[in-house]
Amino acid sequence: MSLTDKLFILFGGICALLGIASAIGFALSRKVTSENGRATVDNLNARIKAWWVMVAIFALSFGLGRGVTVVLFALTSFYTLREFISLTPTRGADHLPLVAAFYVLLPLQYWLIWTDWYALFTILIPVYGFLLLPSLAALKGDAEQFLLRVSRIQWGLMLTVYCISHAPALLTLDIPGRPREGFLLLFFLITVAQFSDVMQYVFGKLFGRTKVAPVVSPSKTVEGLVGGGLTAVAAGAGLWWITPFTPLGAAAMALAIVAMGFLGGLSLSAVKRSMGVKDWGTMISGHGGVLDRMDSLSFAAPVFFHLTRYFYT
């Protein structure tokens, strides 16, 4: 089966499922009358709308090529880094490190992906970036809360640029017998990660009783994690045919994505709670900021990328 045939089946199947989900969401919005029930249905419908947008972006990026996909993720990193920094206290001495983060390290990281310079791509930010940022801050001569200030910028850069950039880096993988199918690996990663988020929310609302971390994230429950996670793993196993994995291998990869995605969401919730905010922003209706939707992907992308590269290239 050709790449085009696989994508046609994928997009057709997902659009059909989203059409059914949209119809169900519309019916529930007309039927539910309680305040809590309406809030739940509104949230679910917002997630379905976000899926429609993601499918449209996927179709656009595939049609226009790899360069557009890399640029879209670079813009995503820019917006998520901006959301992170906007909620993080900074001082005048931090302006130079921030300029370096936004306008040097971020575009350079994605240029390395575009040129397929793997050796430098993997160490640019965690080595050279982490050395550059405190050096630039120290040149300003402001030592007040120096470690805390620099660490916040480094952590934001690592999370929103380095980690997220591993998603489009899947396009550079050279898998024997599967030329140009990195896009399908990217599709697999995002679909499993986002489907897990949605199903954990649904299972948590329907059956959630036991809180995983009540102070950090009151909405995350053991029942939601198990039910939604297993559903996402099953979906990942069902998508084995678009990947170089066996059905069992696809399930194992999906499990890794689910586990890391959950830890990413939990960790970022802890960061938000520490700063006294509920969402990273308001850019996405019903979902908060861009980082609120990318938190799970930021942890899952580098793990999935390196597992795939190690075992299948």
Secondary structure of 45-107 as H, E, C letters? HHHHHHHHHHHHHHHHHHHHCHHHHHHHHHHHHHHHHHHHHHCCCCCHHHHHHHHHHHHHHHH
CB contact at 8 A, 282 and 289:
yes
CB contact at 8 A, 145 and 121:
no
Residue-wise pLDDT for 140-174, tens only, equals 888 888 998 999 999 999 999 999 999 999 999 98
pTM as predicted: 0.88
Residues of the chain with pLDDT > 90, as a percent, come to 47
Q: What is the pLDDT of residue 63?
A: 72
Residue-wise pLDDT for 95-134, tens only, equals 999 999 999 999 999 999 999 999 999 999 999 999 999 9
Q: What is the pLDDT of residue 151?
A: 92
Q: In the chain, what are the domain boundaries?
A: 1-64, 65-172, 176-312
Averaged over 265-280, what is the pLDDT? 80
Q: Does 1 score more than 80 pLDDT?
A: no
Tokens of 174: 């050279």
Residue 122's identity, in one-letter code, is: T
Q: Does 90 score more than 90 pLDDT?
A: no
Q: pLDDT band at 302, cuts 50/70/90?
A: very high
- Rounded Cα gap, residues 44 and 200, in angstroms: 12
Lowest pLDDT segment from 51-55, 186-190, 292-296: 51-55
- Rounded Cα gap, residues 163 and 98, in angstroms: 18
Count helices and strands (H / E) in the chain.
12, 2
Q: Where are the alpha helices (DSSP H) in 158-246?
A: 182-207, 222-238
Q: What is the pLDDT of residue 246?
A: 94
Tokens of 130: 């982490």
